[in-house]
Every structure is written in C-alpha cells, then in structure tokens.
A and B are shown apart, each in its own frame.
Chain A
Amino acid sequence: MTKKAISLGILALAVGAGSGAYAGPDDDSLVINDELEMVTETAAPAHMEGIDTIYSGWRFRTDETQSLQLDDFDNPAMLTVDQAIDAYSEVDGSENESCASCHGDVESFAGLSAAMPKVKDGNLVTLEDEINNCRSTRMGAEEWKWSGQDMQGMVALIGLQSRGMPVDVAIDGDAAPFWEKGKEIYYTRYGQLELSCASCHEENYGNMIRADHLSQGQINGFPTYRLKQARLISRHNRFRGCIRDTRAHTFAEGSDEFRALELYVLSRSNGLSVETPAVRQ
C-alpha cells in the first residue's frame, strides 16, 4: 500500500514537470527593418500528417536572440553577407570571370532560393552545387568547401534576395523519389539514442531537450548565424550536428542523403517566409 502511494506520487510529479516544461512558440511577430513582415506561422502543407500548424524557429527563441534578426544592422550574419557582396563581383579563376559578369545584379536571383533544391538532369541540385558548378566550369576557380564562410556567405547573399517570399519547393514529378528518400531519413531512428528527426521536431517541439527549447526544425532561415558557433551554419552542417547528437555516424555534408533530407525538410517549411540569413541561439 505504502509502496503504491509512493509510486503514484512520483508519477504525479513526473506529469507535473512534463506539462510545466512545455512552452510552445511565443506570440511575437517578426518584422525586419520595420518594413518586411514575415510569415512565421501558417497551416502545414498537405503532405504533413503529424503537424497542423508550422512555426518558424524564430518563434521558439528568447527575446534577446529574436531581436538580433529584427534589424539588419544588428544581424551578425550580414558581416559575412557583406563579404559575399564583394566576392560576387570579384574576378576569380582562369576564365577571368566573376559571378556578376554572367548574372549581373545579384537581385536577379530573387525567388531562386525559395524553390531550391530542385531536380536538374535527373540530379537533385542545391544552391551549393550550383555555386560550385559555376566556379569550376565557368570561372575555372577552385570549388568552395560546403560549409566554408565564403560558400555560405554566397548562399546567404543569394537567399537574401528571396527573403520574405514563401518557401515553395516542388515535391512532385522528378523530385518525388528524392523527396520520398528524404522523408524516409526524417522518420528513421539513428544512433545509440535511437532518435529520428521526428522524435524531437515533430513529436516534442515546444518541449525542452536539456537546456534547449525544441523548435519544429524548420530550415527556412538557413544559412543561419548561430551565436554558439559565431558564424554562418549550412543546412547540412546542422543536419550533421543533430544526427551526431543521437550518437550515430552521420552522413557527410554534400552527400545524396543530405540533399534528399534538405528537400524533404524544406518542403515542411512550404508557406513560411524565407528568413535567410536568420539568427539562432
């Protein structure tokens, strides 16, 4: 009898702690530079079964972190973007070409990032692939490392041209097999901890995982400036970090698995605004 009473007491305590720790997204709204209103909450795309409403990761961060994204002057990612603006018109490689000599003004990229990755000639292609393709075949320049600051600065600069537009990646037609593969990875449990992406970001968003407030794992703000790393972080780098934290061997940055996962995870952001470059904890 006494034993039973004690175990009931513990159960009540556990339930109490569980519900107390839940704090979903806050009610703040994101307006950048006092003029650009962002969609941080909208109905989930039709293909998502576990979630009704999707929220930007911005809504799960503290007020202090959120405020860094309100004004481009305060956004530390803009320092790297500034360097990318210089690199954009800088001639590099054997062909005497810069990005600007073919593409002209960088504003011509408006809308591109909202629809990447996409399928080209049977391959799923990310923005990083396109940049390196241009560098090697058109400029005769050395390819950039996937998560290097020169690469991610350029990805952020091109993404910035689509900021405020809704994410809209295609998941049907040619893209369907890649999307299915990405979905399979998303729901596969990896590592000694046997966690899938969904374990945290679908079933437990809003809860705390140790000291971290779990978001839905939306990637509409990447490349993201992470305060803890003090630099721009690529999508694949973040995937790798999450899978590593499950104590698994991870896929490599730029692997086909991560390309497929990028397409699938981004399709879960369809409808949210492109926030590139976002600021997170």
Chain B
Amino acid sequence: MADGVKPRVKVPKQASAGDTITIKTLISHKMESGQRKDKEGNVIPRSIINRFVAEFNGETVIDVTLEPAISTNPYFEFEAVVPESGDFTFTWYDDDGDVYTTTKSISVG
C-alpha cells in the first residue's frame, strides 16, 4: 500500500425520498504521474488511483477513470438522488493493485 492513503467521504445521514444530495469524496494519495525523474535521472514509476466507483445498494452511481494529469489527493463532488434508505459504497483502485473501500449509510424518511 502506498504511504498515507486515507479515503474520506461526506454523505448526509438523512434525506427525504427523491432528494438530490451532494456527496463529497477525497482520498489522500500522492498521484505520482510517471513523468518525473529523481535526482539520479531515473523515471519515478507511475503510481496513481486509476479508477473510482460509487455505488448505492449495488447500483452504480458514478464510475470514473483517472489519468496521470490528475493532481494529488483527488477530490470528487457529485450529486445523487436517493429513492430509499441504503448504503453508499465508494471504491478506489490503486495502480499497485490495492483497493480502498468505504461505506456510508443514509436513512430516507
């Protein structure tokens, strides 16, 4: 696992049925582009988060492909309509094969 990786998510705890809610996500990650060289002139290998997926009760809300030009600590803010109570699952896929997952519940009343 790359150093200092920590997923963070902000989802409202409650909403009304059919509400549009705002979701914020951020994962701390150095997002090494693969374009830089170290002091000896060797290329520093690429190490980025290459995919981000958000699901609600198993249904895909957003599926993002990330490219090396995206800066450190990638942040996503998006909206979703919640029809019922359930769980959001957020998944980040790292170049080194690691997968980071966070789950947040929301109750719809």
Which A residues have a C-beta under 8 Å from some C-beta of B?
A: 73-74, 76, 79, 82-83
Contact = CB atoms under 8 A, between A and B. Distances in A.
A88 to B, nearest CB: 16
A74 B8 CA distance: 11
Contacts of A76: 73
A15 B35 CA distance: 50
Given A73-B26, A82-B6, 9 more contacts: A73-B8, A73-B10, A73-B24, A74-B24, A76-B73, A79-B28, A79-B73, A82-B28, A83-B4
Nearest to B26: A73
Contacts of B4: 83
A73 B25 CA distance: 9
Nearest to A78: B8
B12 to A, nearest CB: 12
Nearest to B25: A73
Which 8 pairs of residues, A with B, have the shortest CB-CB distance?
A: A73-B10, A73-B24, A79-B28, A79-B73, A82-B6, A73-B8, A83-B4, A73-B26
Nearest to B10: A73
B71 to A, nearest CB: 9
Contacts of A82: 6, 28
Contacts of A79: 28, 73
A74 B10 CA distance: 10
A76 B28 CA distance: 10
Interface string B68-89: 0000010000000000000000
A83 B8 CA distance: 13
Nearest to A76: B73
Contacts of B28: 79, 82
11 contacts: A73-B8, A73-B10, A73-B24, A73-B26, A74-B24, A76-B73, A79-B28, A79-B73, A82-B6, A82-B28, A83-B4
Residue among A73, A76, A82 with max Cβ neighbours from chain B (10 Å) = A73
Nearest to A82: B6
Contacts of A74: 24
Contacts of A83: 4
A83 B28 CA distance: 11
Interface in B46-102: 73
A42 B63 CA distance: 48
B83 to A, nearest CB: 25
Nearest to B9: A73
Interface string B21-51: 0001010100000000000000000000000
B70 to A, nearest CB: 15
A231 to B, nearest CB: 11
Nearest to B28: A79
